Structure 1
Amino acid sequence: MRLSAEPGFVLHARPWRETSLLVEVLSAGHGRVGLLARGVQGAKRHPLRAALQPLQFIRFDALWRGELARLVAAEAVDVAPRLAGEASLGAFYLNELTLRLAPRQVQQPELFVAYATARERLRAGDALAWTLRRYERDLLDALGVGFEWHCDGDGAPIDPAARYRLDPEHGPRRLLMDRGQADRSEAATGRALLALAADREPEAEDMAALRRAMRAVLAHHLGPRGLKSWEMLGSLARLMPGAGSPSQETVQPGG
């Protein structure tokens, strides 16, 4: 099968043999696609190389043979967001999470739109933690494992004054008042869940707990192997002075 002028976002590219790249793309019509780009590395810079950077929006032609497609041509559609600092780490997390959870060759137009939206929010410099929480929500929904968010797993309305643990298989479970501190640390406030349902940014004091609650759900779907971005960001946080400050909650987008 031949793909022609297929829109896609580059998630990852790594060397393959001496002169080629293995490129992972989130495409509009075929979901996540693995591309083999032959002869694009070497002493002489290949014109295709610039279009195969992570976050780049491209249109590409490819010939599908087995699990991988052979890249024939690609062109950049726009200029990829130029990010630095925490935003760059957030983009790495965004790409890694998509790469790990989105299945290959399964059309997912909602995920494609969600990724495009998150990418533009990163470009615009929107609040990083909120950008990533919205994308996590939309990713889970696109994969068919999301929640209603405005009600718990039993169908009862979310109480804004209560706390909820996110059960990956059941949905939000209201936390009993006598539960220990460890359970409460991974529980989101009802206010935060209702804000997420309404696509309204939660209060700052609710955002960190929402991050931890979402991470537990994502970890369940990722399986025993976590994300490199979680390891990197955890190491960075430990090196920063003033542990527990609001800035550290921002610099750890996924965990």
Structure 2
Amino acid sequence: MPAPVSLEPGYVLHARPWRETSLLLECLTAEHGRIGLIARGVRGAHTPTARADLQPLRRLRLSYSRQGELGRLHAAELMALHALGGEALLAALYVNELLVRLLPREDAHAHLFAQYQTLLEQLSGARASAWLLRRFERDLLEAMGYAPLLDREAESGAPVQAGLRYAYAPERGPLRWQPHLGGSGLRGSALLALAHDQVPEAQDLPDLRRLLRELISLHLGGRALASWSLAPLARPRPHAAD
């Protein structure tokens, strides 16, 4: 049996009731990645760990034992609370759903954990969410080993040109757009902005949202994310790149 873990930085991604007084938790931790934990007795009247602390958007120090598929939570110390509302709250809950659905358990990604923490801080600072989400989606795909090709054409390997339009073959990469490919493609400048972490023009954000949703869909086993039906995430506003 693995040794108990003490005071590891982590976040609760999702919590749901289990039996009469307990919770089933999906957590993101700094050293062990996504883990499942049972928090026993936390829904009772007198418990050492408050149920309110075991909710999303709280930075914690978790002490737990790892026991197969589900470990057991021993204690959780609240370190910080990210107070979010409106579109920022929906964006954070969407990212939580992404992580629960896509990250395998016990697969550590220390860099992704740091990026998640930074994202919550940026959302708390009233930063517009659309570009922040596109960056995180890109980084999550990279952490999973599916980094999208963005700055070179799939067929020739030639550099993507900002002034051209491209279709995107999900398992290959950018292809120079031609009318027979359908749609209108997306601008090379949008792909390069995502590749080089530069804020794109507002008109490119809907195209990047569609591209990343298509890439993410490949790894969801045919089941869409519930968050995608929420209007603020489905239709990014024009100023969302500010």
Same fold (TM over 0.5): yes
**SS class of match (2:162):** coil
Partner of 1:245: none
Return 5+ residue gaps in structure 2 as ranges.
none
Return 5+ residue gaps in structure 1 as ranges.
238-247
Partner of 1:206: 204
**SS class of match (2:89):** helix
Is the Cα contact below 8 Å between 1:128 and 1:250 reproduced in 2? no
Question: Which one is further off, 202-211 or 224-233?
Answer: 224-233
- The structure richer in helix per residue is 1
1:191 aligns with 2:192: no
Partner of 2:60: 58
Partner of 1:111: 112
Shift of 1:51: 2.0
Question: Which one is further off, 4-13 or 165-174?
Answer: 165-174
Partner of 2:51: 49
Is the Cα contact below 8 Å between 1:166 and 1:214 reproduced in 2? no
Shift of 1:177: 3.6
Shift of 1:88: 1.2
> Please, what is the CA RMSD of the aligned residues?
2.1
Q: Percent identity?
A: 49
Which amino acid in structure 1 is aligned with residue 160 of structure 2?
I
Q: Tell me, in whole angstroms, the C-alpha distance in 2 between the residues paired with 1:46 and 1:15.
A: 17
Q: Tell me, in whole angstroms, the C-alpha distance in 2 between the residues paired with 1:130 and 1:226.
A: 21
**TM-score, normalisation: structure 1:** 0.85
- Select which of 155, 169, 172 maps to 2:171: 169
Which amino acid in structure 1 is aligned with residue 122 of structure 2?
R
Partner of 1:24: 26
**SS class of match (1:5):** strand
Which amino acid in structure 2 is aligned with residue 123 of structure 1?
S
Q: Tell me, in whole angstroms, the C-alpha distance in 1 between the residues paired with 2:30 and 2:236.
A: 33
**SS class of match (2:124):** helix
Is the Cα contact below 8 Å between 1:165 and 1:213 reproduced in 2? no
Q: Tell me, in whole angstroms, the C-alpha distance in 2 between the residues paired with 1:52 and 1:165.
A: 43
1:231 aligns with 2:229: yes
Partner of 2:237: 250
- For residues 58-93 of structure 1, give each alpha carbon's deviation from its aligned partner in whole angstroms, at most 9, with x where no partner exists: 111111111111000111121x22111111111111
Which amino acid in structure 1 is aligned with residue 86 of structure 2?
G
Shift of 1:43: 4.6
Q: How many residues align?
A: 236
Q: Tell me, in whole angstroms, the C-alpha distance in 2 between the residues paired with 1:36 and 1:190.
A: 47
Question: Which one is further off, 1-10 or 167-176?
Answer: 167-176
**TM-score, normalisation: structure 2:** 0.90
Question: Compared with structure 1, are the counterparts of its residues 76 and 164 closer, same or farther at alpha carbon in structure 2 (3 Å cutoff)?
Answer: farther
Shift of 1:123: 1.0
Which amino acid in structure 2 is aligned with residue 66 of structure 1?
G
Is the Cα contact below 8 Å between 2:41 and 2:47 reproduced in 1? no
Q: Tell me, in whole angstroms, the C-alpha distance in 2 between the residues paired with 1:180 and 1:28.
A: 43
Q: Tell me, in whole angstroms, the C-alpha distance in 2 between the residues paired with 1:45 and 1:232.
A: 35
Partner of 2:154: 153
Q: Tell me, in whole angstroms, the C-alpha distance in 1 between the residues paired with 2:132 and 2:176.
A: 25
Is the Cα contact below 8 Å between 1:48 and 1:75 reproduced in 2? no
